[in-house]
Chain A
Amino acid sequence: MTSTLTPVRSKRSALTKGQLPKYAPYAVLAAALIVGAAILALIGFNAFGWGLVSALLFAIGLVSWSAMVEGSRRAKDKLATCLVVGSFLVALLPLVSVIWTVLVNGIPGLMDPGFLTTSMNGVTGAFDNKAVESGGPVMGGIYHAILGTVQITLLATVISVPVGLLTAIYLVEYGHDGRLAKAITFFVDVMTGIPSIVAGLFAAAFFFVVVGPGTKTGAVAAVALSVLMIPVVVRSSEEMLKIVPNELREAAYALGVRKWRTILKVVIPTAISGIASGVTLAIARVIGETAPILVTAGFATSINSNVFGGWMASLPTFIYTQILNPTSPSNPDPSSQRAWGAALVLIILVMVLNLVARLIARIFAPKTGR
């Protein structure tokens, strides 16, 4: 058999004619950065202006070059890409800025001896004055606040997950879009919009009536937080239960399984990963609440491990009081250092919770593979 193949001349493919070379964006970016720096140098250099001017120059340069070489369709495509990437960067800016600021200011606080293991009990302005004047270590810690935050949030979760999950089950499995289901959906939406301070006032007033005036404990704060959590849990669980295929329910019914067992053993296990991550996100949403905790749990400087009795500190209220009423009014620096340290711990806590949510989602996810 003779080969009928003729050798193809090596040349640039006609199919890729009229395209910008691969290095084009990088070249334009480099040029934009240089020109941007030059322009900024004329009017006084600053990093933010440099980034802004360079981004504009980059977009104009790349789009017009593309328009000249590749035609208007690809130029529009490049413009859209520039807008999308630009928006992404703008959205990312606050996040990076917040994390950077908290890290820079928070790490010194975190490095204080006993910061995570001691409370503010007995730490007075005199210690702070001494620390500033003689350069010694900053005393005091956030152990009581961490303990308070964890306890209050845990109790709030224990309250809101059963209520929220059962509400979602009613809405999806039993409500049939009836009048009651519609009313519940409406009020859940209303609850989502409740300002957190109002939730705090509700819990404070509720316990005022039920227990007595001036009741401020961790449990009251937990009730306030669960008012904020329940709608989030209902919404996310509802969505997760809705996407469980109806075929699975029918398969269970066809095996002679009762409805409540089907829900318990088939529907919820199938949706559990989504529900679990929804719950974790709801926790992350309320763990940083300040106002409702201030009016319900008060503020404490010592360790209180009883969530049902006595005032309780939490990380957000700790930050708030340390900044607003420094322990030593004449030397507020140690207090603000502690506040930043607490802020860093709070962010780490939320981040860990998000990671836990992903882990839970992965562990419980329906298994595939052969």
Chain B
Amino acid sequence: MSKRIDVKDLNVYYGDFLAVEDVSINIEAKSVTAFIGPSGCGKSTFLRTLNRMHEVIPGARVEGEVLLDGDNLYGPGVDPVTVRSQIGMVFQRPNPFPTMSIRDNVLAGVKLNNKKISKGEADVLVERSLKGANLWNEVKDRLEKPGSGLSGGQQQRLCIARAIAVEPQVILMDEPCSALDPISTLAIEDLINELKDQYTVVIVTHNMQQAARVSDKTAFFNIAGTGKPGKLIEYGDTHTIFSNPVQKATEDYVSGRFG
């Protein structure tokens, strides 16, 4: 239940502005890939092109190919909704639906799509998803309480449970820990390690230690200056990127000399 992603010569635009230029990258199935780089270098923008969330913003468009196990996400006639049900996403700020209970939040992907599900199946799905997100023990007694009453870290794990409840092939995470304290961060990082047994995980992070801790491969993005497009500078095994990078810019960044 996981697929690989291959990106070929991808250019990402906001209107006429080229935000990310010429990215080619191969993301293995059942692995954790981290995107690092300074702010504004296009990591998040690029991540959002991997499940066609980028085009939600008016005027945003993409040139090039993104292949999910060989199928082009941007091919003619491809429905972005189908793409997104296969490639889930967790956002920077926890965003549980405020009108729904914890249980309904987990079932949101099913219920919002009006799929019929029996109560028994729903219970199984809720328990499995919440266990998968390491949240079950904390919320099992208050599933009917609103999701917005949880702490920030719990909310973020609820969002992860919500994402894995629709059983995607790939999970994208856009700085999932940047709004969380170290203990909640640790909980999420442990979770990412478990998730890679089943899913392909791509994570954007500002925290280089985090990238080093959780990822198998790391991609370093950089930007030449304000108004210039972001570029993929180097991509390789996390160990190599952090200990023995090929590019000077990568070495400067991971050793803390800039950025």
A255-B95 in contact (CB<8A): no
A370-B95 in contact (CB<8A): no
A251-B53 in contact (CB<8A): no
B112-A257 in contact (CB<8A): yes
B97-A248 in contact (CB<8A): yes
B163-A255 in contact (CB<8A): yes
B112-A255 in contact (CB<8A): yes
Distance between Cα atoms of A368 and B97 in the complex (Å): 11
Task: Kindly state whether residue A182 has any CB partner on chain B within 8 Å.
Answer: no
The contact of A253 among B84, B146, B150, by CB within 8 Å, is B84
| Closest residue on chain A to residue B85 by CB atoms | A256
Whether A256 touches B81, Cβ cut-off 8 Å, given contacts A251-B97, A262-B112, is yes
Within 8 A of B (CB), among A211-253: 245, 247-253
B108-A256 in contact (CB<8A): no
Q: In the complex, what's the smallest C-beta–C-beta distance from A369 to chain B, in angstroms?
A: 5
Residues of A within 8 A of B108 (CB): 252, 255, 257
Residues of A within 8 A of B136 (CB): none
Task: Kindly state whether residue A266 has any CB partner on chain B within 8 Å.
Answer: yes
Distance between Cα atoms of A248 and B53 in the complex (Å): 13
Within 8 A of B (CB), among A283-329: none
B82-A261 in contact (CB<8A): no
Residues of B within 8 A of A250 (CB): 53, 56, 89, 91, 95
The contact of A367 among B82, B98, B113, by CB within 8 Å, is B98
A366-B98 in contact (CB<8A): yes
The contact of B84 among A248, A256, A266, by CB within 8 Å, is A256
Distance between Cα atoms of A253 and B149 in the complex (Å): 23
Distance between Cα atoms of A253 and B148 in the complex (Å): 19
Q: In the complex, what's the smallest C-beta–C-beta distance from B155 to chain A, in angstroms?
A: 11
Does more than half of chain A's interface fall in helix, strand or loop, or is it mixed? Answer: helix
| Closest residue on chain B to residue A273 by CB atoms | B99
Q: In the complex, what's the smallest C-beta–C-beta distance from B158 to chain A, in angstroms?
A: 11
Task: Kindly state whether residue A269 has any CB partner on chain B within 8 Å.
Answer: yes
Q: In the complex, what's the smallest C-beta–C-beta distance from B84 to chain A, in angstroms?
A: 4
Number of interface residues of A (CB under 8 A): 25
B58-A176 in contact (CB<8A): yes
Distance between Cα atoms of A248 and B81 in the complex (Å): 16
Distance between Cα atoms of A250 and B82 in the complex (Å): 15
Q: In the complex, what's the smallest C-beta–C-beta distance from B247 to chain A, in angstroms?
A: 32
Task: Kindly state whether residue B88 has any CB partner on chain A within 8 Å.
Answer: yes
Distance between Cα atoms of A251 and B81 in the complex (Å): 13
Q: How large is the interface on B (under 10, 10 to 19, 20 to 34, 35 or more residues)?
A: 20 to 34
Within 8 A of A (CB), among B76-96: 81-82, 84-86, 88-89, 91, 93, 95
Residues of A within 8 A of B131 (CB): none
B166-A255 in contact (CB<8A): yes
Distance between Cα atoms of A258 and B109 in the complex (Å): 11
B95-A248 in contact (CB<8A): yes
A367-B148 in contact (CB<8A): yes
Task: Kindly state whether residue A15 has any CB partner on chain B within 8 Å.
Answer: no
| Closest residue on chain B to residue A178 by CB atoms | B58
Q: In the complex, what's the smallest C-beta–C-beta distance from B65 to chain A, in angstroms?
A: 21
B112-A254 in contact (CB<8A): no
The contact of A247 among B91, B112, B162, B166, by CB within 8 Å, is B91
Besides A248-B97, A270-B98, A369-B145, 16 other CB < 8 A contacts?
A245-B95, A247-B91, A251-B162, A253-B84, A254-B91, A255-B85, A256-B85, A258-B81, A265-B112, A270-B97, A366-B99, A366-B148, A367-B98, A368-B149, A369-B149, A370-B150
Binding site for A on B (CB under 8 A): 51, 53, 56, 58, 81-82, 84-86, 88-89, 91, 93, 95, 97-99, 108-109, 111-114, 142, 145-146, 148-150, 159, 162-163, 166
Q: List 11 A-B pairs, Cβ < 8 Å.
A: A250-B53, A250-B95, A252-B97, A254-B53, A254-B89, A255-B112, A266-B97, A366-B98, A366-B148, A367-B98, A367-B99
